[in-house]
């Protein structure tokens, strides 16, 4: 089993959905990712928080044996995102992005992080993603995410990161924005032209599209959930389950490994959206995940399709 290194945000999120609202709930890509990935493999996290970060919020990672040596606390406020979801629960409307302590973040990897084999550069500034990647000695498999904020403000830096990773996990709206197309199938191919060997486009309640240079498209629906409470973190959960699944195999991923990882990540995300913030994800067990995976096989009725 390999260790997974993740760099991303630790945040407080203020979220409003048709099902309710929360103020300053624990969130951030690194938190969602780490909680998800640590169900499968050891996780090392790099990030920065402010002096307002509650002691109990470190504990949630440590209770999962996530290595938090790479977390630094600095003067100032923790990253804060404020957003809402209207009728379309697949697309967040950002009200405010307060980078706060992330503005001057200069990530330095602890020595023992530098041999990490699986690396995920979650959704933070492309230059920070690059800085982290440069400090990893011999990564086996590197993935990244990004968002509209960086696509519109830092495209040249972003494209440099894209050229260095093995896989991009990105949501559908952002994949279209990045590639200037209105079709997710076309967007997937265009992302591959930017460098990575594989791309996963996350489609919210509709599931995902993976496209690999080696075998083309792999597309499946989301696990059916009749009521979404809060979609925040679903994409980071997907990425965490995806990388966890890969790292637990402890080898250079094959396309079949990537497919299996997509299914694990996608189904794990179906837990996250059933409550606000990290609450539902933090309470999810491997046994619960496996139960949904087994049910999912009936939902996509693989036996029928093999006839």
- Positions touching a second copy (CB under 8 A) are 18, 87, 89, 182-186, 189, 203, 205-207, 209, 215-221, 224-228, 256, 259-260, 263, 297-302, 304-307
Residue with tokens 């519109």: 152
Smaller CB separation from a second copy, 133 or 209: 209
Min CB(186)–a second copy separation in Å: 4
In whole angstroms, the minimum distance from the beta carbon of 80 to a second copy comes to 28
Those residues whose C-beta lies under 8 Å from the C-beta of residue 36, and which sit 6 or more positions away, are 236, 237, 238, 239, 240, 241, 244, 265, 268, 272, 281
Q: Which is nearer to a second copy, 124 or 201 (CB)?
A: 201
Q: 73 and 51 in contact (C-beta within 8 Å)?
A: yes
Taking the C-alpha atoms of residue 210 and residue 82, their distance in angstroms, rounded to an integer, is 29
Cα dist from 49 to 14, 21, 165, 251, 286, whole Å: 17, 23, 26, 33, 29
161 or 267: whose CB is closer to a second copy? 267
Least separation in angstroms between CB 176 and a second copy: 9
Per DSSP, the residues of 112-140 read GGTT-SEEEE-SS-HHHHHHHHHT-SS-S
Secondary structure (3-state) at 58: helix
- Residue closer to a second copy, measured from CB, 63 or 302: 302
Nearest CB to a second copy, comparing residues 285 and 302: 302
- Whole-angstrom CA distances from 229 to 22, 113, 288 are 11, 36, 19
Cβ at position 300, least distance to a second copy in Å: 6
Task: Give me the least distance between CB of 78 and a second copy, in Å please.
Answer: 32
Nearer to a second copy, 140 or 225 (CB): 225
Rounded least distance, CB 231 to a second copy, Å:
12
Query: In 58-79, which positions are buried (b, 16+ CB within 10 angstroms) versus exposed (e)?
Result: bebbeebebbbebbeeeebebb
Q: Which is closer to a second copy, CB of 184 or CB of 247?
A: 184
Between 183 and 250, CB nearer to a second copy: 183
What's the min distance (Å) between Cβ of 183 and a second copy? Answer: 6
Contact 272, 13 (CB under 8 A): no
Nearest distance, CB of residue 159 and a second copy, angstroms: 22
**Residue 163 burial (C-beta neighbours within 10 Å; 0-12, 13-18, 19+):** exposed
Q: Could you give the angle at the alpha carbon of 119 between the alpha carbons of 7 and 30, nearest 5°?
A: 30
């Amino acid at each position: 089993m390999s260790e997974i290194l993740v760099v991303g945000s630790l945040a407080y999120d203020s979220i409003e959905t048709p099902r309710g609202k929360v103020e300053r709930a624990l969130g951030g890509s690194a938190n969602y990712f780490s909680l998800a990935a640590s169900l499968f493999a050891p996780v090392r996290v790099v990030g920065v928080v402010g002096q307002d970060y509650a002691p109990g919020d470190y504990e949630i990672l440590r209770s999962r044996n996530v290595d938090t040596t790479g977390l630094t606390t600095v003067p100032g406020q923790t990253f804060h995102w404020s957003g809402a979801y209207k009728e379309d629960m697949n697309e967040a409307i950002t009200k405010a992005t307060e980078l706060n302590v992330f503005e001057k973040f200069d990530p330095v990897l602890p020595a023992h992080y530098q041999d990490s084999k699986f690396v995920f550069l979650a959704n933070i500034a492309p230059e920070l993603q690059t800085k982290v990647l440069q400090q990893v000695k011999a990564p086996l498999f590197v993935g990244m995410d990004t968002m509209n904020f960086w696509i519109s403000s830092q495209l040249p830096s972003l494209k440099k990161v894209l050229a260095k990773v093995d896989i991009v996990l990105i949501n559908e709206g952002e994949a279209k924005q990045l590639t200037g197309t209105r079709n997710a199938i076309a967007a997937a191919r265009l992302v591959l032209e930017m460098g990575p060997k594989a791309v996963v486009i996350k489609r919210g309640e509709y599931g995902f599209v993976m496209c690999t240079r080696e075998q083309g498209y792999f597309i499946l629906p989301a696990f059916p959930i009749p009521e979404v409470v809060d979609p925040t973190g679903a994409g980071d959960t997907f990425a965490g389950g995806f990388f966890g699944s890969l790292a637990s195999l402890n080898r250079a991923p094959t396309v079949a490994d990537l497919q299996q990882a997509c299914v694990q990540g996608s189904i794990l995300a179906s837990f996250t959206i059933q409550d606000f913030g990290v609450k539902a994800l933090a309470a999810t067990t491997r046994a619960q995940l496996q139960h949904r995976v087994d049910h999912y096989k009936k939902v996509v009725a693989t036996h029928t399709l093999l006839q």
